[in-house]
Amino acid sequence: MSTFTDLLTYCNQNNTTLVAVSKTKPMEAITELYNEGQRIFGENRVPELVEKYNALPKDIKWHMIGHLQTNKVKNIAPFVQLIHSGDRISLLKEVNKAAKKNDRIIDILLQLKIAKEETKSGWDKNELYAMLTDGILDQYENLNIRGVMGMATFTDNQTQIEEEFAALKTAFDKMKLETFPTKKDFDVISMGMSGDYKIAIQEGSTMIRVGSLLFGAR
């Protein structure tokens, strides 16, 4: 059995969606996994995402997982299936605008800063709750908020990773209860990468983003 098949089986057993993170990898590597049945791929740079979208089969569901500049939103708005990195109001506003232009509703996750590392971006959870209470999202009719995304600290400390993922799950549960109580498709907790996906799933992940384990080191 291939790594891919093993990982997919593991995901299916745990009701978790697998995003194959293909950033920096060539078209052939994507095609290989596509031929094994994978349809969801994640990229973190807009030009590379657009190039791959244009070249590869149109039934691939492309996820934008990396930091997204507002001036590049228009390039992916016609086709992107899920944006994981909704980390600030100016971006949500821009995605809404571009979605409207393309006559689409775009699915997006709110990225929370759960790691202690300074390098990881995302909402501070209190600022996020304040924004949600504000009702500011109500004006973004072409956005569909599907859930949350977070990245744990890059560390060997398993307990710390557990705590960070647990904090994301807690934030999701609070938002589900207080902000989206009747929204059936507020159902995505995107957490877990090659090094920590098992912990993430144990802590309630519904979507993992795995690159190097599938495609080899970058």
Ligand X SMILES: *Cc1c(COP(=O)(O)O)cnc(C)c1O
Return residues touching ligand X (CB under 6 A).
21, 23, 44, 65-66, 151, 193-195, 209-213
Closest chain position to ligand X (CB): 211
Specify the residue, 68 or 180, whose C-beta has the smaller distance to ligand X. 68
- CB of 211: closest distance to ligand X in angstroms? 3
- Round to whole Å and give the CA distance between 27 and 135: 42
Nearest one of 36, 30, 49 to 4, comparing CA atoms? 36
- CB of 207: closest distance to ligand X in angstroms? 11
Specify the residue, 111 or 180, whose C-beta has the smaller distance to ligand X. 111
One DSSP character per residue, the chain reads --HHHHHHHHHHHTT-EEEEE-TT--HHHHHHHHHTT--EEEES-HHHHHHHHHHS-TT-EEEE-S---GGGHHHHTTT--EEEEE-SHHHHHHHHHHHHHTT--EEEEEEE--SSSTT---B-HHHHHHHHHHTGGGG-TTEEEEEEEE---SSS-HHHHHHHHHHHHHHHHHHHHHT-TT-TT--EEE---TTTHHHHHHTT-SEEEE-HHHH---
Specify the residue, 140 or 215, whose C-beta has the smaller distance to ligand X. 215
Specify the residue, 23 or 97, whose C-beta has the smaller distance to ligand X. 23
- CB of 193: closest distance to ligand X in angstroms? 4
- CB of 166: closest distance to ligand X in angstroms? 19
Sign of CA dihedral 163, 167, 172, 176: positive
- CB of 172: closest distance to ligand X in angstroms? 17
Specify the residue, 97 or 120, whose C-beta has the smaller distance to ligand X. 120
- CB of 209: closest distance to ligand X in angstroms? 4
Specify the residue, 41 or 180, whose C-beta has the smaller distance to ligand X. 41
